[in-house]
Amino acid sequence: MSWLQNDLSQTLQSTPERLDQLSSLIDPQWITQVLSTTGKASIRRRKLPAEHVIWLVIGLALFRNQPIWDVARQLQLTLHNQPLSVPSAAVAGRQRLGEEPLAHLFRLLCQGWTACECVCQRVLGLRLLAVDGVVWATPDTPDNRLALGSSSNQHGSGGWPQIRAVCLMDTYSHELLDARMGAMSQGELTLAADLQNIDQSLTVFDRAYFSAAFLLNWRSQGQDRHWLMRAKDNLRHEVIVQHDEHDCLVSMPVSPTARKIDPQLPSHWQARLIEVQLGGRKRRFITSLTDASRYPAKELAKLYMQRWEIELGFREIKHSLQSSQWTLRSKQPQLVRQELWGVLIAYTLLRRLMRQMAAHVKVEPLRMGFHVASMAIIDLLRFAPLESAGTLPKRLQLLFDQAHLFVLPPRRSERSYPRVVKTKAAKYPAKMPVSS
């Protein structure tokens, strides 16, 4: 049992209301289940059992600037508080564990929390989600470069190996609902096709996800699983039903290549095409919400603006949780993926506890400042030793009582930061005229 679970078990009876919320974030049985399912449960008595290694990986994400052996020592993760014989024992424990238990645990967390209605907000009767890809740089080792690859252009490969992830996020709370990761050779569409969507939802995509096969499959996986994205300028379509001048139902052809890959695809598919004036510019959107009376075009255009929330979530992970570090820690591909699963778990845990803090002060979850609130939560976990387990309820109560200090002012909707294309600096200096 981890240090945190041990603290919780010792104090649960005296403070059931507060600690039940915290202990429900990760059920100890889930950790046992993932180790049993993946065949990674510790059979031998080790100084660092598999259960502790899982918490170690999560701790590496929470305490980004500390070495691995300091994290293991500070969290008191060894069996019977025995010191690690050598710092490499923690690395060996991570190698034995692999990435599968962390990936399985992340999905169990998402599945257990997805059904909770208290975490979501519905707009037009639907839960608003966003999907996008993100890339992390890794240490430049031969193994990482061979297994993961890197971005490239006409000048060659990038300076660092990279790993790609595609995430599904709730735009109301920034809580992750699913994620998939792979090498740079795997496209975002390939990874996004395996995401587990939820019913009664509207998912916002950028234009890179426009694919008949992908979007039709996204809708067919459940009930009322809709999507919304910007329409391409060169969209091939034929108007079927004209709702008004800037709102119509269109039919689009499916490419022969896509039908060759999947013969079950139809020759044509339908969607709704709308045109809305935003910020003095005309914007075109395409969506599976075809009922024009129930889903007004202007309301859908406003909902698309929420797509930026997933970019803000990625910024919270990279700059706040990961302390703006240029690369991840791990030098082996398997450990890179394991570390990244730990990062996603840690971020989701923090966002879950922040949602509870926001409910305590009766504000929206995104009104909680992630940087300062996460620092407060991490400090609470860092300075709660086992010898003073009885003080944990008081510390947790104090954290909730101070939640109002982390509340941000409401966002100013009138502010806008449009993208600006900057002039690229010349690669070579300008040629000076030859003087006569």
DSSP 60-72: HHHSTTS-HHHHH
pLDDT at 92: 86
- pTM for the whole thing? 0.85
Same domain membership, residue 290 and residue 190: yes
Alpha helices in 24-159 (DSSP H): 28-38, 50-62, 68-74, 88-97, 100-114, 142-148
Q: Is 244 among the domain residues?
A: yes
Q: Is 166 among the domain residues?
A: yes
pLDDT for 325-376, tens place per residue? 989 999 999 999 999 999 999 999 899 889 888 988 999 999 999 999 999 8
pLDDT at 25: 56
Distance, in Å, from the CA atom of 204 to the CA atom of 206, rounded to the nearest integer, reads 7
pLDDT for 84-121, tens place per residue? 656 777 888 889 888 999 999 999 888 876 655 555 67
Cα angle for residues 177, 183, 186 (degrees, 5° grid):
80
How sure is the predictor about 144, in pLDDT bands with cuts at 50, 70 and 90? very high
Same domain membership, residue 260 and residue 173: yes
Q: Is 424 among the domain residues?
A: no
8 pLDDT more than 50: no
Same domain membership, residue 113 and residue 84: no
Same domain membership, residue 90 and residue 111: no
Q: Is 337 among the domain residues?
A: no
Domain span at 291: 105-311
Mean pLDDT of 146-167: 87
Q: Is 359 among the domain residues?
A: no
Distance, in Å, from the CA atom of 32 to the CA atom of 429, rounded to the nearest integer, reads 62
Count of domains observed in the chain: 2
Same domain membership, residue 265 and residue 150: yes
Distance, in Å, from the CA atom of 354 to the CA atom of 400, rounded to the nearest integer, reads 10
191 pLDDT more than 90: yes
Q: Contact 337/99 with Cβ under 8 angstroms?
A: yes
Closest among 122, 177, 305 to 229, alpha carbons compared = 305
Mean pLDDT of 194-211: 93
- Any idea how long the chain is? 436
Same domain membership, residue 217 and residue 72: no
Q: Is 158 among the domain residues?
A: yes
Same domain membership, residue 115 and residue 65: no
Q: Are strands 126-137 and 122-123 parallel, antiparallel or unpaired?
A: antiparallel
**Residue 84 per-residue DSSP state:** P
Same domain membership, residue 153 and residue 220: yes
Mean pLDDT of 156-177: 91
58 by DSSP, 3-state: which?
helix
% of the chain beyond a pLDDT of 70: 83
CA distances from 206 to 156, 232, 328, 366, 367 (A): 27, 10, 27, 22, 25
Q: Is 143 among the domain residues?
A: yes
Q: Is 427 among the domain residues?
A: no
